[in-house]
Structure 1
């Protein structure tokens, strides 16, 4: 009998038998510091202060242990720095192969990153945020799991809500946090986490579970 753990946890708690195949080990759920991944921003709270020569800082941290920093200066010029990083549970080192790497103590949540006490906020493309309802479901194993409808809410604060309905009308809801990288959408919840692939086109979101085991095409609900 195939592994249904992720399905039970995320989608519906309504499947009592077979389900989708187990996740591949190469997905983002294998990354040790998932809450570091993302686009982080710091805005100057007092742009008129002459002692602070920046307007904003944009920090990108990726799962490949690379980073990029873009600093917009007061005179509208841009400073840019990129390289590799390392991390432990409370220390972040930027520029691992440079003569003078920068070392920070950090704390993080699903949408905030504190570097030496300075708080950066995670940003997300507005195209993904919203209330989505399935138009149709397909895939190699969608008939096995029996889900007929999915509603998904992705909030700008990186919280998600999902509701599913099966063929008998049984429904379940689940809540958690999420993060993205490129076309990966990772859902984290009490029982674990799951990596999916997504595409957004206009007001339609396609989410691919388990390499095509189930593909959900969802429309934005205004």
Structure 2
């Protein structure tokens, strides 16, 4: 029975890992970089740079090696520009059409990004963090063997996932997650898996159309 549960778990997670563009995302060299990073001034006056006072800054990194930067001034004015970037273990370089390249040193963790000494925090989409429990699991060879999936997504991008088999056996994974558009990738000690997700006010749906797999989870 334990072997059958293990096989079902492998199929369940593996089925969520195959998407038409999943290889590009799961094989991206710096997955922890992806997402929305925010810096906020700790004073009402903001931080002065070239005659303007800035209250907040947002950098979005995509796996396509494109970026968008938004700066919020104290008076409410928003500046925005984008382009492409290159990155290695210690340096990120921004390229914007018509502008000289900008090279910056950085340090990176799963939820902290320090760029030239400025500390950015990654923020998850609103309503995504929380504890979710499956109300329906469908898919050939999985629905009959997996009775329940519980997924805890923390705001700091740590997760734990528990899968219960029809025979009462359980399996747990813990690790880091990241998202891009409608994809969520779970990285843990034994590997990584991704799926498409659809977020409602109190529901989270994980889908793999290629294999006909779908899990609907309710917020606890």
TM-score (norm 1): 0.85
Separation in 2, partners of 1:49, 1:198: 37
Report what 2:175 is aligned to: 176
Report what 1:216 is aligned to: 215
Report what 2:5 is aligned to: 14
Q: Once the two structures are superposed, what CA deviation does each residue of 1:26-46 show, in whole Å capped at 9, x if it has no partner?
A: 311011110110101000122
Separation in 2, partners of 1:14, 1:90: 43
Report what 2:35 is aligned to: 38
> What secondary structure does 2:21 align onto?
coil
> What secondary structure does 1:142 align onto?
coil
Please tell me the root mean square deviation across aligned C-alpha atoms, in Å: 2.4
Could you tell me which runs of 5 or more consecutive residues in structure 2 were left unpaired when the two chains were aligned: none
Q: CA deviation at 1:213?
A: 4.7
Q: CA deviation at 1:63?
A: 0.8
Could you tell me which runs of 5 or more consecutive residues in structure 1 were left unpaired when the two chains were aligned: 1-11
Report what 1:3 is aligned to: none
Report what 2:66 is aligned to: 66
- Greater Cα offset, 170-179 or 204-213: 204-213
Runs of 4+ residues over 6 Å off in structure 1:
none
Separation in 2, partners of 1:77, 1:59: 17
Report what 1:153 is aligned to: 152
- Greater Cα offset, 85-94 or 50-59: 50-59
Q: CA deviation at 1:13?
A: 9.5
Aligned length: 209
Q: Tell whether the 8 Å contact from 1:84 to 1:97 is kept in structure 2 after alignment.
A: no
> What secondary structure does 2:26 align onto?
helix
Kindly report which structure 2 residues correspond to 1:169-208, keeping only aligned pairs within 5 A, or say none: 169-208=168-207
Q: CA deviation at 1:86?
A: 1.0
